[in-house]
Structure 1
């Protein structure tokens, strides 16, 4: 049985979203391992996860789609323009800018999705990296500010 957030919707009160960036061809397994590691650093599990997002440039990445399907979550994509208001002063990458049109991917995607789902979106610490991917987590309040 796959570990989906929908298996236990009320079991975990803390709800988080993940912003994911990856190199072309990154596997579902690498993304899942990174995601689980990122969640565990904050004493969270996939049961706390309510959404995943990436940049529109990665819309055709099979690994991202396979991960979202495995988790039973919708994969949301944001354009560089939609991410502009969520960029962090640190963490900008010239390679990311040249490749995707956005100076960063994981953090602004996490913040943009958290803001879409609730109020007071904020990152949970620094992003994590694997050989081919990045993952940032964000939390939000369900009630409007």
Structure 2
């Protein structure tokens, strides 16, 4: 399972989310076709661009609750004061990806920042 975790500012576009996902996958030689889903914090459920990107990519969008984000927060690689303040987690994109990918998931690397969107890639199982 490979999950792209998304964090963003309010009002981003579907195109910005999709560009962030593609850019985050590129260093690992992956394409959107290799993804099992997108993930974000439940508090981002009103960000229509994330849902629209999932639909465009034909992927489910996992909305992760705060307690699940907290459970994996120590496994994240990035510490953002903005994310801590807004979501109570060091990185929405990293913790959402880890939580959605499963109990034994790991990040391929730290989140990447693409303008107003962050994206982190988590895998569960063998190296892709």
Question: Could you say whether these structures have the same fold, taking a TM-score greater than 0.5 normalized by the shorter chain as the test?
Answer: yes
Aligned: 1:72 with 2:61: no
Q: Following superposition of structure 1 onto structure 2, how do residues 9-88 of structure 1 map, counting pairs within 5 Å?
A: 15-88=1-74
CA distance in 1, matches of 2:101, 2:52: 21
- Comparing 20-29 with 95-104, greater Cα deviation is found at 95-104
Q: C-alpha deviations, 1:53-112, integer Å up to 9, x for none?
A: 000110010110110110111111112211111113652222212222323201111111
Query: Mind listing any 5+ residue stretches in structure 2 that lack a counterpart?
Result: none
SS of 2:124 mapped into structure 1:
strand
Runs of 4+ in 1 over 3 A off after TM superposition: none
Q: 1:73/1:90 Cα in 2 relative to 1: closer, same or farther (>3 Å)? A: closer
SS at match of 2:119: strand
Q: TM-score, normalised by structure 1?
A: 0.80
Q: Partners of 2:65 and 2:19 in 1: how far apart?
A: 26
The aligned counterpart of 1:11 is none
Contact 2:78/2:111 (8 A) holds in 1:
no
Distance 1:34 1:126 in 2: 13
- Classify 1:94/1:76 alpha carbon distance in 2 versus 1 (closer, same or farther; 3 Å): same
* Paired residue secondary structure (1:87): helix
Structure 1 unaligned blocks of 5 or more? 1-14
Compute the TM-score of the two structures, normalised by the length of structure 2: 0.89
How many aligned residue pairs are there? 125
Superposition CA RMSD, Å: 1.6
